[in-house]
Chains A and B, each alone.
Chain A
């Protein structure tokens, strides 16, 4: 059972007068084996919250628990616990080392952990993971530049999975992709989550995607969570005025954004 809990988490950027709280007292539970969506506009602090969970950003206050272990400032044994939380980034152009073959990128997780049973064993593990994300294992030697955007994002997922995570943080993983490719990556995430029984925090600004993909959703605004609940019910029947505003602004096929000739 692996659960990710944020307890009164604050994250501050800068110091003194120019400081700014990007996350302000967030309490959020991502229950075991659930897909939780985190939505909000740019600057709402949703990415910062994810970066705090993997140790890329130190919270100024609060606790982040993987099950019952606080992973804030993790060292030694707790660092190993925190490694159960992995992250997939928005832009696979920047999240894969352009000078490293995709196989070596995935293999790194095994090398770092000293796992995988020798070179041949690690190669086999990499091949298995590539197959899992529906890529030809023969392409392990390819550089990221030889792959399309969607394929690169699948490699990023494979790399995160190589660390054998229990919790996966997906930060806008399809917002740099074309809509026709987006579906493939989302279906992959959905399948992997079910097969490996992962706990997933899915950060997105696309409410339609969150509604279809996630079990629950949390809406964030100005560093605070304003509404949490089952995805479909929150999005179909938002309670908080901000959520309502957010949903009303989404363009829908067949519904003109503005009435012709009836402006103002």
Chain B
């Protein structure tokens, strides 16, 4: 008997319902990031930079000031590794000494940019509307103004020198931080927890400090780190132009300007400076990347793990489903889906076997994380790395989809792709994301005919309009020229179905197709699915969390629980209370009925309940 820790369930369930997001782990943590290649690179370069910034002037400051008038603009030698400058001073010592000043101006500029930006960006969220509009206007105009031009103008206003350069670059970069903060802040401000705090009576300042800032902090830190690299290059540029620090002080930019005069005499000086600037820039970028990884700001690319050994395909007998159908359009045997974890693999779908007969409507019911959607996606060959899909056999319409015990979106033959494209149709839960918002609905429907049906553009369009009409979209000719946003939710779902009907599907996989819809619209969409099933004999695999819906729409029901298929029974048996497996019974009992006693307690399934103690039911 295996017991899952209930606390680990949310993460598994999230992964299962959103398989595409599986690589987006919330945070890698600083420890793990430090051990990754990018973390090591960032740490090493950053420590080097910090070392030279702190000790550079102490260790080499004196050497850097000594002029050897016998060796002006000398080439590199053992004594002067990068040669000497026009004043006969050692270039290498000066490059190392200048690290501190160069970094100081970059960091000061970044600090100014971030502080001004964050304040200006958050002000519109808390200030009265009129002030907010004014601030937004100023940010907009400032963003439209070229940043470098702004920096030059500001540095002329403040005069040359360290402070002038830092202010100039800081103020020039501030508008983009302001816009970033504003965008991040506005999205957080629209969340329900901010609304809840307002209802509790929390003031604007409290909402800003306690609720908004902590939730926009991470992306800002990452951007600041990457931005410091930009600031460094900009500060170097201004110094190069002579607007930066003035003699006798020097930074990399000023030195680069001077070294250009003798670039043909001693190119090593310029190259050494460039290397220093590039190294510093790369360091900031690497640090930003490492921070992003540690804070989980954006998706790490991550290395691919080796697949786990395919389950069930090595010599062992082919697993059999609880109910074998003679004329099956789909036969799945031993389907297993696994996701990589920090250590090893988690099994999300565990050796599932079932048949779908021609013309049958089979429901798959289960709660979030039960693996029902993953099962469908695996059958449609839509699961990608890093998920691993294995099966003894997935036979669809006389084509074997599992190759060497593995299946997935791996490149396969054109014929198989065409087979899937024309004989299998898919309808997903959210019709607003499954249609491309920028392409006319008719064009998207027609595309399937061109792609898989070998139709000409004109024929495909004609058929698309015909199919849109057959899914009861009124005035299909005009509607075909509209965008998805001009369709209601129910109509979009029907358009998805029309897309599926461009071929001659033997199977429609409908994954929670009506969950986002109202009950009256749900009925329309289901009636259409039912009509297609009745008139064309198309089999339907219908996935839902709603056991009443599944039992009233389907002929047969597969019940999934924590990755396993625990029961395969007819809808009539389910309705008559003849379910065998304790989980099926508990699930059926927990659905509120229209004839329950008003005011009575709701039936529940205890959170820690374990149902796999009945081996007779095949719940492995």
Tell whether A and B belong to one assembly: yes
B574 at the interface (CB under 8 A from A): yes
For A159, A163, A245, A249, the residue with the greatest tally of chain B CB atoms inside 10 Å of its CB is A249
Interface size on A, residues (CB 8 A): 75
Expressed in whole angstroms, the Cα–Cα distance for A207 and B7 within the complex equals 31
Contacts of A231 in B (CB 8 A): 598
Residue of B with least CB distance to A165: B199
CB of B491, distance to nearest CB on chain A (Å): 14
**Of B89-97, B178-186, B477-485, B548-556, which stretch is located at the interface?**
B548-556
In contact, A263 and B531 (Cβ under 8 angstroms): yes
B197 at the interface (CB under 8 A from A): yes
Contacts of A181 in B (CB 8 A): 604-605, 607
Residue of B with least CB distance to A149: B10
- Chain A positions 158-174 with a Cβ under 8 Å from a chain B Cβ: 159-160, 162-163
Contacts of B547 in A (CB 8 A): 179, 253
Contacts of B534 in A (CB 8 A): 260-261, 263
If A89-B196, A180-B605, A182-B602 touch, whether A255 touches B552 (CB-CB below 8 Å) is yes
Interface size on B, residues (CB 8 A): 68
**Of B241-249, B336-344, B422-430, B582-590, which stretch is located at the interface?**
B582-590
In contact, B545 and A179 (Cβ under 8 angstroms): yes
CB of A139, distance to nearest CB on chain B (Å): 11
If A212-B599, A257-B523 touch, whether A55 touches B215 (CB-CB below 8 Å) is no
B596 at the interface (CB under 8 A from A): yes
B575 interface neighbour in A163, A186, A254, A257, Cβ under 8 Å: A254
CB of B578, distance to nearest CB on chain A (Å): 12
In contact, B519 and A41 (Cβ under 8 angstroms): yes
Residue of B with least CB distance to A95: B192
**Of A26-34, A108-116, A119-127, which stretch is located at the interface?**
A108-116
In contact, A205 and B26 (Cβ under 8 angstroms): no
In contact, B202 and A108 (Cβ under 8 angstroms): yes
In contact, B596 and A257 (Cβ under 8 angstroms): no
Expressed in whole angstroms, the Cα–Cα distance for A241 and B367 within the complex equals 34
- Chain A positions 57-108 with a Cβ under 8 Å from a chain B Cβ: 79-80, 83, 85-87, 89-91, 94-100, 105, 108
A54 at the interface (CB under 8 A from B): yes
Contacts of A147 in B (CB 8 A): 10
If A231-B598, A257-B523 touch, whether A146 touches B7 (CB-CB below 8 Å) is yes
If A187-B604, A207-B594, A208-B592 touch, whether A100 touches B210 (CB-CB below 8 Å) is yes
If A96-B193, A178-B368, A180-B586 touch, whether A253 touches B552 (CB-CB below 8 Å) is yes
Expressed in whole angstroms, the Cα–Cα distance for A160 and B199 within the complex equals 9
CB of B580, distance to nearest CB on chain A (Å): 17
In contact, B607 and A187 (Cβ under 8 angstroms): no
In contact, B201 and A112 (Cβ under 8 angstroms): yes
In contact, A249 and B523 (Cβ under 8 angstroms): yes
Contacts of B574 in A (CB 8 A): 253
Expressed in whole angstroms, the Cα–Cα distance for A150 and B571 within the complex equals 29
CB of A178, distance to nearest CB on chain B (Å): 4
A118 at the interface (CB under 8 A from B): no
Contacts of A56 in B (CB 8 A): 195, 198-199
- Chain B positions 486-502 with a Cβ under 8 Å from a chain A Cβ: none
In contact, B548 and A251 (Cβ under 8 angstroms): yes
B552 interface neighbour in A80, A211, A252, Cβ under 8 Å: A252
Contacts of B198 in A (CB 8 A): 55-56
A226 at the interface (CB under 8 A from B): no
B6 at the interface (CB under 8 A from A): yes
Chain B window 511-551, contacts with chain A (Cβ cutoff 8 Å), 1 for yes, 0 for no: 00000001111110011001100110000000001111101
Residue of B with least CB distance to A236: B594
Residue of A with least CB distance to B489: A42
In contact, B214 and A212 (Cβ under 8 angstroms): no
In contact, A94 and B193 (Cβ under 8 angstroms): yes
Chain A window 134-166, contacts with chain B (Cβ cutoff 8 Å), 1 for yes, 0 for no: 000000000001111110000010011011000
Expressed in whole angstroms, the Cα–Cα distance for A111 and B531 within the complex equals 59
Residue of A with least CB distance to B575: A254
In contact, B215 and A186 (Cβ under 8 angstroms): no
A179 interface neighbour in B191, B553, B591, B599, Cβ under 8 Å: B591
Expressed in whole angstroms, the Cα–Cα distance for A85 and B592 within the complex equals 28
Expressed in whole angstroms, the Cα–Cα distance for A256 and B571 within the complex equals 9
A128 at the interface (CB under 8 A from B): no
Expressed in whole angstroms, the Cα–Cα distance for A163 and B199 within the complex equals 9
CB of B600, distance to nearest CB on chain A (Å): 6
In contact, B202 and A112 (Cβ under 8 angstroms): yes
Contacts of B523 in A (CB 8 A): 249, 257
In contact, B545 and A211 (Cβ under 8 angstroms): no
Expressed in whole angstroms, the Cα–Cα distance for A213 and B519 within the complex equals 20
If A149-B10, A212-B597 touch, whether A91 touches B519 (CB-CB below 8 Å) is no
What is A's interface to B at a CB cutoff of 8 Å? 41-42, 51, 54-56, 79-80, 83, 85-87, 89-91, 94-100, 105, 108-109, 112-113, 145-150, 156, 159-160, 162-163, 178-184, 186-187, 190, 205-209, 211-213, 231-232, 235, 245-246, 249-258, 260-261, 263-264
Top 8 nearest A-B pairs by Cβ distance? A180-B605, A254-B575, A183-B602, A183-B604, A95-B192, A41-B518, A99-B214, A208-B592
Q: List 19 A-B contacts (CB under 8 A).
A: A41-B518, A83-B201, A148-B7, A148-B9, A148-B10, A179-B547, A180-B367, A181-B604, A182-B590, A183-B590, A183-B601, A184-B607, A206-B592, A246-B519, A246-B520, A251-B549, A252-B552, A255-B552, A263-B530
14 further contact pairs, Cβ within 8 A, besides A87-B196, A186-B602, A253-B593: A55-B199, A97-B193, A97-B197, A97-B215, A100-B210, A148-B10, A162-B200, A163-B200, A178-B367, A181-B604, A211-B598, A212-B599, A260-B555, A263-B534
